Chain A
Amino acid sequence: MQRNTSFFSVFQASLVFLLLVLGSHVAVAASPDPTEQIRPFLAKVTATLAEPGLKSKSRQEQSDRMISVIRERFDFREMSKRVLGQQWRNLSDKEQAEFEDLFTQLLQYVYVDKIDDYSGQQIQYTLQRVKGDRAEVQTLLVDKNKSIPIFYIMILRNDQWMIYDVVVEGVSLVRNYMEQFNEILRKNGYSGLIKQLKDKIAELEKNLNKS
């Protein structure tokens, strides 16, 4: 009898353990796979860059087209929040919205610039890391004579992994702008930062129209 109970409790324990293992697997499966979500998105971005009609369109149309694609999986609000760090909380709602809008406009030039350069480079997915509602998808942009490691840092928002930072060869875009913005904020305050952002966007627009 004694042996039976012990056997039974071991059986029970292993059943519980099994359920736990299974349960944790189910829980993992419930949150979507970041690579599976980013893969079609990046495919769409490269397909858009390679669109035959895009190069002949006006610069304004090009950037509108790019930004509409990129908005799908970029969380520009999260990006703006992080790039300003602790300063973000000191801003009013209106100021936050204004900054987000300008910062988004600035970042679209990163991609608009690529329209002329893109020549069918392939993207390899090397590794992914998930920690709670954060994920890092490591990719390799393979060019003819070099390959560039690009990591996408993402946050989970209602079942959708949204990008809030891009790390190219170890250099995080957000952290790089953060240091620059911090200096501007320290020297010229928020109004100075907004002015510099507007100037930069105007300058980039002028250069684009020239080329």
Chain B
Amino acid sequence: MMNNQLDCVERQIRRLCLLFAMMAMMFSGHVVAAVELSGEVASSEKFAGAVDFLSDESYEKPTSDVQVSDPIEPFNRAMFTVNDKFYIWMLEPVSTGYSKIVPGDIRACIGNFFYNLGEPVRSVNCLLQGRFRDAGKTLGRFFINSICGVFGLADPAGDEFEIPPIYASFGETLSVWGVGDGFYLVVPLLGPSTLRDFSGTVVDGVASATYTPWNDDTLTTATAQGAKTVNRTSLHLGEYVEIKSMSFDSYVAFRNGYYQMRSKQYDHSTSSK
């Protein structure tokens, strides 16, 4: 009994500390935002790999920014096949069944909930990248959605306050710091990545594990991750198979798609204006 109470108190303290840390971060964000306003830091500069579809160059030399070395292609292709089978045999059937039981609105809410839990990590990454305004916005989204959006089930920050979701990851932070991609890597169960981005994903995962409530044992963590994945897949059913059926070499199609999508995510020139 005594032990239980102690545990409870300890948890409360941990939560309080976290809250303070976040508030401190938010205020520091504001201060730096003010500095940025007066000094115009070059953070709004266009991301180097950004694609301007209106310039012909992006079509004439399509591979210059997308081509990344793929020295372990045989391994990657094997992993691609593994993931493909996993998707077709496991993930898709399970997600289809799930989508028939749980209505779309609720699945969208669950998706929002998981996304909202990632906001503090995104905010820290924005800070680390020198995107101070984005850091403040992301943290603002977290507070608004956690409080007004019932633990992040809804997205009032996006719908009412017009602060759209902002992309940030540790992979991106590393790229801002000048770390190269390394090479293309297809991660089992996770899909297309690069050595750098996968390292970033691991760091982001560990960081969010410090404050998400389901990391007491491996089984619970795996269940939470599984639920998140199934829920996300249920909102995108059919897309994977359709892209695959329209492509000639689906390995190349998804590799190229990954790089193109990422260069859009890393490009904040439109969102910062």
Contacts and interface: CB of A to CB of B under 8 A. Distances in A.
A181 B53 CA distance: 20
Given A110-B246, A176-B256, A167 B53 contact: yes
The interface residues of chain A, by DSSP majority, are classed as: helix
Contacts of B242: 113
A136 B54 contact: yes
Given A85-B59, A144-B104, A153-B54, A180 B249 contact: yes
B259 to A, nearest CB: 9
A134 B59 contact: no
Decide if the interface of chain B is mainly helix, strand, loop or mixed.
Answer: helix
B252 interface: yes
B60 A86 contact: yes
B54 A129 contact: yes
B245 A207 contact: yes
A109 B260 CA distance: 22
Given A85-B59, A175-B62, A180-B247, A145 B107 contact: yes
Contacts of A207: 245
Contacts of B253: 176, 179-180
A144 B238 CA distance: 16
Contacts of A129: 54
A109 B244 CA distance: 13
B249 A172 contact: no
A144 to B, nearest CB: 6
Interface of A: 82, 85-86, 106, 109-110, 113, 117, 127, 129, 131, 134-136, 144-146, 151, 153, 165, 167, 169-172, 174-176, 178-184, 196, 200, 203-204, 207
